[in-house]
C-alpha cells in the first residue's frame, strides 16, 4: 500500500474531510433525534463528494496515468 499514490492529492483530502464532517453532523443529530440535522449532515457528505470531483476537474487530483499503475508510465523497449 505504501508504494502507490492513491488518494495523496488535495482534491481527495478535501473531499474526504468534508464528508467526514458531514458524517459527524449526522451522527450527532442521530443521537439527538433531530431528523432535519441528520439530513443536513447527509447533504454535507454529498457536498464533499461534489467538491472532490470539482477539484479533480480543476486539476488538483491525480493524473490518470499515475492512478492506473501507481507509478509513472515507462516507455517500452523495442527489440530489433
pLDDT digits (tens, 9 = 90+) for 11-48: 889 999 999 999 999 999 999 999 999 999 999 999 99
Is residue 76, in this structure, part of any structural domain at all?
A: no
Is residue 20, in this structure, part of any structural domain at all?
A: yes
- CB atoms under 10 Å from CB of 7, counted, come to 13
Q: Which residue has the cell 516507455?
A: 75
Query: What percentage of residues in the chain have a pLDDT greater than 90?
Result: 49
- pTM value? 0.71
Q: How confident is the model at residue 62 (pLDDT cuts 50, 70, 90)?
A: confident
Is residue 41, in this structure, part of any structural domain at all?
A: yes
Is residue 39, in this structure, part of any structural domain at all?
A: yes
Is residue 73, in this structure, part of any structural domain at all?
A: no
Q: Residues for the chain: how many in total?
A: 80
Structural domain of 38: 10-62
pLDDT, greater one: 27 or 80:
27
Please list the alpha-helical segments (H only) found in the chain.
10-32, 35-55, 64-69
Amino acid at each position: 500500500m505504501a508504494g502507490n499514490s492513491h488518494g495523496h492529492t488535495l482534491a481527495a483530502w478535501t473531499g474526504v474531510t468534508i464528508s467526514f464532517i458531514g458524517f459527524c453532523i449526522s451522527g450527532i443529530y442521530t443521537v439527538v433525534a433531530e431528523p432535519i440535522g441528520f439530513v443536513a449532515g447527509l447533504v454535507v457528505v454529498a457536498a464533499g463528494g461534489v467538491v472532490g470531483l470539482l477539484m479533480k476537474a480543476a486539476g488538483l487530483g491525480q493524473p490518470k496515468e499515475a492512478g492506473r499503475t501507481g507509478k509513472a508510465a515507462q516507455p517500452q523497449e523495442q527489440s530489433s
